[in-house]
Amino acid sequence: MPVGLAVIASIPFLLDENRGSAYGRRHFDVAGAASVTSGIMLLVYALTRGTDDGWTSRTTIGFLAAAAALIVAFVVIELRSKAPLLPMRLFRLRTLTAANVTAVLIAATAFSWWFVQTLYMQQVLHYSAVQAGLAFAPLAATIAVFSNVAQTLVTRFGVRPVLTAGLLLTATSLGLLTRVPVEGHYFWDLFPAFMLGAVGLSLSFVPVTIGGLTGVGPSDAGVASGLINVSRQIGGAVGLATISTVATTFTNQYVDAHAGSTSSSTAALTHGFTSSFYVLAAFALAGAVIAAALMRPAPRPSVESSQDESLNPLEEAA
């Protein structure tokens, strides 16, 4: 709150009002914003409630159908709007489209992985909240270091190979986590996967951002930047709802198949968590396939362009 109040107080002194003619013709796309926000909210809610209400129940099917209708309505509204919230012409850029789809999968994978991993450490290995947080410290430090490496690699090799490699490493890391036991040990069962996954995510976060701005003109740079961030938020929300449902479903299946077991037993919980890691590995593999198949390779620089400072993909994307 203090930071937010400080920002609000500084606005009158740091920002100048712009009343140019271009701003006078702009209108906020209320219909588009309302339809897409409502659609995503209903989708997440339906995925969350599916386990309790049943996937074939009228409630679940109704919410999913309503979410689909609202998202379709958003697309129709944007195609017909004179001042769309999201200009659909941006999706003619193949690399931008692939980057945003991949961003959804990356966010769904990363956010859900950290969520499920925390539950495993606290509920199965009986770590405290502080211990679980400290267990992630090497992963966070590795991401911070290798993100700079990723920028250098993208500059040299392009978005497609770096992003594909990063997602394959992430999928391999999650594959290792599918084998975590009930009596798991941090350094033998978790730490290797953490380090491999941290490198993989580092090689994913930076390239997908650059890909989301590739080929975009200056007038659309703000929209494209916002779109890649929205893709991450959607991926995180839908991914968490999906993986929570998967973990709960497989935990309940374990309880049903093993007499005397409860949904709070470590064996049942571990079965649910490892099943979630299989799904997350599939997310990462799907992202790797999309990146490899749909993103355009980096153009080979000519003799003249090799001397141009704009060859840096980060500067070019900005």
Cα separation of 173 and 281, whole Å?
8
Q: Report pTM.
A: 0.82
Q: Number of helices (H) and strands (E) in the chain: give both, helices first.
A: 12, 0
Lowest mean pLDDT, pick from 41-55, 109-123, 242-256: 41-55
Residue 259, CA atoms < 13 Å, CB-side half-sphere: 0
Distances (CA, A) of 219 to 87, 97, 258: 12, 18, 60
Return the amino acid letter for 163: L
Flag whether pLDDT at 189 surpasses 90. Answer: yes
Supply the pLDDT for residue 20.
53
pLDDT in tens, 65-97: 999 999 999 999 999 988 888 889 899 899 999
Lowest mean pLDDT, pick from 69-78, 146-155, 220-229, 308-317: 308-317
